[in-house]
Structure 1
Amino acid sequence: MEARVPGQYLRRMPGLDPRAVLAGRPTARPPLGVVVTVAVSSVCLFVALVLLLHDGATGVATAVLLALVPLPLLLAGVLALDRLEPEPPDALVAAFGWGAGVAVLIATIVNSAGLDLVWRPLLGDELGLYATAAITAPVVEELAKGTVLVGLLWFRRHELNGPTDGIIYGSMVALGFATVENISYYAFAADGVLAWTFVMRGLLSPLLHPLCTSLVGIGVATAALRPRGRRVLPVVLGFVGAIGVHAAWNASTAGGLEGLAAAYTLGLGVLVALAVVLHRDRRRIVGLVQEHLPRYAAVGVVGPGDVRMLSSLQARRRARERLRVTLGRGPARAMADYQQAATELAMLHRRHGLGLVPDDEFQARRDPLLLLMGHARVAFTR
């Protein structure tokens, strides 16, 4: 690629869109698979709500409101983890929709069938409900939620660049599932226990599903960076971990305060472990940027100080804010595109170095990223 680039920023060039370049697609339009997933998930969500709320539900509007109250904060927390290399919004929406629609519908049907056909005839009502919660539900729900993550591994493996991506997608699926599940709990809670139910599910344990399904996400993301013959084990281990944590949490209800304390201790342990994984993965990504970006200084897309700026979230944010104040939103948007393209380029080198991307595919993906970075630099260095 030549060092000189046209003065017009790529966003204004007909036929070329930064969003498409960053997503690695010909256009910025969502792929057909995403559209189909969202459509199917929407239908499943409607059916699931009909099944969940068909008999005895009261105050559905209040239940929906209570289920949505913590959601913006939880989504903001998940997306805050995704600032270094943001995932495509359409993929995140599809993941959330799958959890809220397809996964909930599967879990509703299978859990109910297991209770009516297996556990209730064997153990009676009370023990049957407990067995469903402690044995059936963890397996069914984690398999239902994790299926879309396996789909990402199969159809959009290039989006999975490390454990952070797995945690992001797993959390989005789980938040969709938890939101709809909470609607059913709140709708069937009596007036005297509705507030307590909201405190327990909406405020004290909103991270149960994200913590569990994040383990599946880590397994899937690990598999995405392995050769084809070595991908099964990480995925299986991810599902085993998610099902185990979920089952231990649900089973703790029989242990009173001691069981509750044990469940929260386990959840805290998983949360700390995920935080360590996220920290280490961020350092890994920064290391990739520092390793691979300097080679492009010779073609004019990496200037003095750019690698240092790209190595820190704080420095990235300050660079965008400074441009927004001095030059306006356009150059600031160009800087954001530059930062993401540079990160994508570094991780592309990583996948190529692992032998996961052939040379021709590597070049076909690298060149548009370099073109985007070149035009973006013109926009924010003028």
Structure 2
Amino acid sequence: MPALDAQAILDGRRPGRHSVGLAVTMAFSVVCLLGGLGFDLFNSGTDVVPALLLAFAPVPLLVNGVLWLDRLEPEPARLLWLAFLWGAGVAVALSSVLNTLGLVLYTLPTFGAERGYYISAAVGAPLVEETTKGLVLIGFLWFRRREIDGITDGISYAALVGLGFACVENVQYYVQGYLDAGASRLLEVFFLRGVVTPLLHPLFTSMLGIGVAVAAMSRRRLTRVAAPLAGWLGAVVLHGVWNGSTGFGSTGISIAYGFLLLVLIVLLALMWLDRRRMIGTIARYLPAYTGTGLVTEGDIAMLSTMGGRRRARRWADRAGGRQGRAAMTDYQLAATELALLHWRVEHGIAAPDWPLRRDGLLALMHVARVAFGRGARPSVPPEWIAGSAPPSGFVREEAPTWLPYGGGREG
């Protein structure tokens, strides 16, 4: 009997099948990234090396911070990679070309040098860059709507796009600083862009991420159009506020920085509320499956707190080793996805093939429960993989009660 492809089930795709369009887009993004870095290397020679090191140094910490915020229901790795690579490759390349053309063909001839550069930075750059960054988010909304289960998902994708963009854009700023005044100026620019303001681009683009998430979770056609437009406008305005503040000296920059810090706090609060909503879906929809033996009251308590999930994975690791831990992780993710799927069904936004996804998640939960203490992933009947409902008389699997480990609900 064939074994379940756990990752395919969690990603909502057919086992063994991958998106050609996704692969091509990712490859194109990589080509744009390498081309941009190669251009910098050609123009600046070895001076680009310290700039590259400083630009990429904070990236692992920042990316892991974004992933940590979305750890309750993490997104498919391939889409997260695409978001980052699009920002670092395609968005940077398109923005560089369009910003330069706008500057040379319109703002400089129209407004002169000093005023033209300021208008280009405060108006032109926000319009261009938030559009090029946002294209991939619109693509996710169009082609991967089922992957967006809440505001947290939209913010996570948008933040990774922004981090990729900021990383490569910083290379150019660091190189220029080094060429202007050597290592001291390079470190000064790094402190300003890499330490003080590393989250600006993620923050701007998160506005569109929220708009895309609202559109993905709505049945109304007007909302599906208006929400992304409103999000894009919000991204442009925030970007313009920051760039425009530079024309008002340190006072203007300080006020803009404080305002954007408040926006960041609001975003974090929205993500916390979204997590509460997702936990609520677990408590609302999973009790219906207690009669199958796939879910117990203890499981629901465990799934409702990050600490309970973590302790359950540690238990599975002690009981079944690395594969036991992987099985517990699969169970937790599948159960969360099942609850969110029922939420989408109730709100009328689930894909027509949602029963197939439900049955695949149930099959994965069954296999994972069997594997908790055995250190292996057993096979399951082929009809489960094909998407038919699990047999009504399947054996109820015994599993540990998680109440002592899970505690109460997320506080």
For the aligned pair, the TM-score class normalised by the smaller chain equals over 0.9
Q: 1-side partners of 2:114 and 2:39: how far apart?
A: 22
RMSD over aligned CA atoms reads: 1.6
* Correspondence for 2:292: 299
In terms of mean alpha carbon deviation, does 328-337 or 53-62 score higher? 53-62
Structure 2: gaps of 5 or more residues: 373-398, 401-411
Q: Does 1:227 align with 2:219?
A: yes
Whether contact under 8 Å (2:73, 2:333) holds in the other structure is yes
Letter in 1 for 2:170: N
Whether contact under 8 Å (1:100, 1:176) holds in the other structure is yes
Whether contact under 8 Å (1:52, 1:108) holds in the other structure is no
Letter in 1 for 2:230: L
Q: Does 1:377 align with 2:369?
A: yes
What SS class does the counterpart of residue 25 from structure 1 fall into?
A: coil
What SS class does the counterpart of residue 344 from structure 2 fall into?
A: helix
Shift of the 146–115 alpha-carbon distance from structure 1 to 2, 3 Å rule, reads same
Q: Does 1:106 align with 2:99?
A: no
**Residue 46 (structure 1) shift:** 2.9
Whether contact under 8 Å (2:146, 2:350) holds in the other structure is no
**Residues 17-65 of structure 1: CA distance to partner in whole angstroms, max 9, x if unpaired?**
1001101111266421221111111122233335556545661111110
Choose the corresponding residue for 1:181, options 169, 172, 179: 169
What SS class does the counterpart of residue 161 from structure 1 fall into?
A: coil
Q: Does 1:255 align with 2:248?
A: yes
Letter in 1 for 2:291: A
**Residue 15 (structure 1) shift:** 5.0
Q: 2-side partners of 1:160 and 1:148: how far apart?
A: 13
Shift of the 338–281 alpha-carbon distance from structure 1 to 2, 3 Å rule, reads same
Higher relative contact order (CA 8 A, sep 6+): 1
Q: Does 1:311 align with 2:299?
A: no
Q: Does 1:172 align with 2:164?
A: no
Letter in 1 for 2:15: T
What SS class does the counterpart of residue 112 from structure 2 fall into?
A: helix
Q: 1-side partners of 2:98 and 2:112: how far apart?
A: 18
* Correspondence for 1:82: 70
**Residues 150-177 of structure 1: CA distance to partner in whole angstroms, max 9, x if unpaired?**
0001001000111000001001111111
For residues 254-333 of structure 1, the aligned pairs below 5 Å read 254-333=247-326
**Residues 280-338 of structure 1: CA distance to partner in whole angstroms, max 9, x if unpaired?**
10000000000000100111110230000000111101110122123311111111000
**Residues 69-92 of structure 1: CA distance to partner in whole angstroms, max 9, x if unpaired?**
111110110010111001000011
**Residue 269 (structure 1) shift:** 1.2
Shift of the 150–94 alpha-carbon distance from structure 1 to 2, 3 Å rule, reads same
Q: 2-side partners of 1:76 and 1:126: how far apart?
A: 40
Q: Which runs of 4+ in 1 moved over 6 A?
A: none
* Number of equivalences: 369
Whether contact under 8 Å (2:122, 2:244) holds in the other structure is yes
Task: Normalising by structure 1, report the TM-score.
Answer: 0.93
Q: 2-side partners of 1:36 and 1:362: how far apart?
A: 27
